Amino acid sequence: MKPRPSAPAPYHHGDLRRALIAAALALVTEEQDWTFSLREVARRAGVSQSAPYNHFADKRDLLAAVAVAGFHQLRDGLVAAVTGLDDTPDAFAACLRTYVRLGMRNPALYRLMFGPELTESKGAKRPREVAEAGGEAKSILERIIRDGATSGVFAVPTGPNGQPLALATFIAWSAVHGLTMLVIDKLTGELVPVQRAIEAAIAVQLDGVRGGARAASTRQRGAAASAVERDG
């Protein structure tokens, strides 16, 4: 069978772009950073050093595609963790847990997604696709908080103005983000059971969205104190 010139049968194996993203993601995962060279990525994909420039403007652009892949993993993980959970507080906690878990499973990927490399800085804007994929993941958390607010489980005012909801989401998100960063950056110190610390931090945030009153009436001292007590 001859090759059919009518189907141009692209030079490489059909989709060098995808192959490069896969190679870069593998390198991020193996080496736990992105200091590897673009030439190394090309080598892995079996092409010349300059071939990637047919598909990406520069190294940063390739890394952006990797980050998008990471956000899709996160989105899928969040959806999987949340579906089937009727209780909103449970869904909220599951959501936070998923963030931390992705970070622990692949710290470098997590850092790439949320870190300064692809963030607005030095004149370069955050790549559009990265911002979009990131927004998707954030919106899942936001939806859960809105659900809790409308059902009255969470003490977050609802209404036409989205600010309170955005603020509540931001607070919870920043807490879980910091938690993840400290854990993956090994800054937990002598905290022996990291998993317990994670649960305690999540409990504090849950209290935060619930408002103190409910938590106090059922437990007298709030989630933080109880969690702390359990571990003492």
Picked from DNA, its own copies, none, the partner binding residue 126 (CB below 5 to 8 A depending on kind) is: its own copies
Q: How far apart are CA 100 and CA 197, in angstroms?
A: 12
Q: At what angle do helices 88-105 and 107-114 cross, to 10 degrees?
A: 110
Residues 144-173 that bind its own copies (CB under 8 A): 155-157, 159, 161, 163-164, 166-168, 170-171, 173
The alpha carbon torsion through 189, 194, 197, 201 (nearest 10 deg) reads 100
Closer Cβ to DNA, 52 or 107, answer by number: 52
Q: Is 51 in the site for DNA (CB under 7 A)?
A: yes
Binding mask 207-226 for its own copies (x = CB under 8 A): xxxxxxx-xxx-xxxxxxx-
Closer Cβ to its own copies, 73 or 139, answer by number: 139
Q: CA angle, 86 as apex, 85 and 91 as ends, to 5°?
A: 50
CB neighbours (10 Å) of residue 25? 22
Q: Is 39 in the site for DNA (CB under 7 A)?
A: yes
Closer Cβ to DNA, 40 or 136, answer by number: 40
Altogether, the residues listed in the chain come to a count of: 232
Closer Cβ to DNA, 17 or 101, answer by number: 17
Q: CA angle, 124 as apex, 118 and 127 as ends, to 5°?
A: 50
Closest CA to 186 of 196, 194, 176: 194
Q: At what angle do helices 194-210 and 222-231 cross, to 10 degrees?
A: 160
Residue with tokens 């059922």: 218
Binding mask 54-93 for DNA (x = CB under 7 A): xx--xxx---------------------------------
| Number of residues in contact with DNA under rule CB under 7 A | 20
Give phi and psi for 121, each to the nearest 5. -175, 155
Picked from its own copies, DNA, none, the partner binding residue 38 (CB below 5 to 8 A depending on kind) is: DNA
Residue 1 beta carbon to its own copies: minimum distance, rounded to whole angstroms: 48
Q: Is 75 in the site for its own copies (CB under 8 A)?
A: no
Chosen residue from 22, 29, 32, 40 binding DNA by CB under 7 A: 40
| Number of residues in contact with its own copies under rule CB under 8 A | 76
